[in-house]
C-alpha cells in the first residue's frame, strides 16, 4: 500500500478516537502519547512516521479503557538505542 495512504488511514483512526496528532521536536523518543494527544518526532521518514503513529495508536486503543489515560506513555523505541 502507498505510504501516503497508510498515513491517511492512521490519521483517520486517530480522528475516530478523537486524538490530536502533532509533529514535535522530540529528543528522547520517536513518539509520545499523553491523554488525547499523540506527539510524533518531526525529523523522521514517512516509514518511521507511519510505524510510530501506528505504535502510539495501538497504545491508545489497547490501554485507554484500562485507566492509563492519566499517565504519559512513552514510545518504546528510544532514539539512542
pLDDT category at 62 given cuts 50, 70, 90 is: confident
* Residue 53 grid coordinates: 503513529
Whether this prediction's pTM lies above 0.85 is answered by: no
Q: Is the pLDDT of residue 23 over 50?
A: yes
Taking only the tens place, the pLDDT of each residue in 66-77 is 554 444 555 444
pLDDT category at 58 given cuts 50, 70, 90 is: very high
Taking only the tens place, the pLDDT of each residue in 6-20 is 999 999 999 999 999
Q: Using CB atoms within 10 A of its CB, is residue 37 exposed (0-12), middle (13-18) or buried (19+)?
A: middle
Amino acid at each position: 500500500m502507498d505510504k501516503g495512504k497508510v498515513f491517511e488511514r492512521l490519521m483517520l483512526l486517530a480522528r475516530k478516537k478523537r486524538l490530536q496528532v502533532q509533529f514535535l521536536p522530540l529528543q528522547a523518543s520517536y513518539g509520545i502519547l499523553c491523554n488525547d494527544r499523540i506527539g510524533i518526532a518531526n525529523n523522521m521518514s514517512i516509514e518511521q512516521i507511519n510505524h510510530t503513529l501506528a505504535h502510539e495508536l495501538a497504545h491508545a486503543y489497547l490501554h485507554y479503557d484500562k485507566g492509563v489515560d492519566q499517565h504519559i506513555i512513552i514510545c518504546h523505541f528510544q532514539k539512542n538505542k
